[in-house]
Amino acid sequence: MNPVHLVRAMLWKKRAWNSTKAANSFETMAMSFANSESVEQSIELEGTIQTVLPGTMFRVMLDNQHQVLAHISGKMRRHFVRLTVGDRVRMEMSPYDLSKARITYRLR
């Protein structure tokens, strides 16, 4: 959703949209929200599947010899992409928890 729409919805809920103070604060809030880095960037890595676990979970060995617990992304589940031991995969990791990852692509 567009940051301007988010701020407009916030102000509309407060019923302060008609006042000039709200209109001025709307513009400053929208600009500060648009300039802020509110969305964290995910870390993309590649690795090799070492172990297949139940529930579409996998133990993956990264190229730097670290092991992470990874699950399949929703699009890969929807398209029935099969993964086996030894497959090379591309993963996304959150900067907050470096022990878990989401498998987004199977490399050829």
Ordered domains of the chain (ranges, CATH): 3-35 (no CATH), 43-106 (2.40.50.140)
Pair 107, 90: CB distance under 8 Å: yes
pLDDT at residue 25 is higher than 90: no
pLDDT of residue 30: 54
Residue reference for tokens 């990874």: 70
Condensed to tens digits (0 to 9), the pLDDT of residues 29-62 reads 555 555 555 556 889 999 999 999 999 999 999 9
Whole-structure pTM value: 0.63
Condensed to tens digits (0 to 9), the pLDDT of residues 70-108 reads 999 999 999 999 999 999 999 999 999 999 999 999 998
Pair 98, 47: CB distance under 8 Å: no
For residue 36, give the 3-state DSSP assignment. coil
pLDDT-derived band of residue 17, with 50, 70 and 90 as boundaries?
Answer: very low
What's the rounded Cα separation, in Å, for the pair 36 and 54? 40
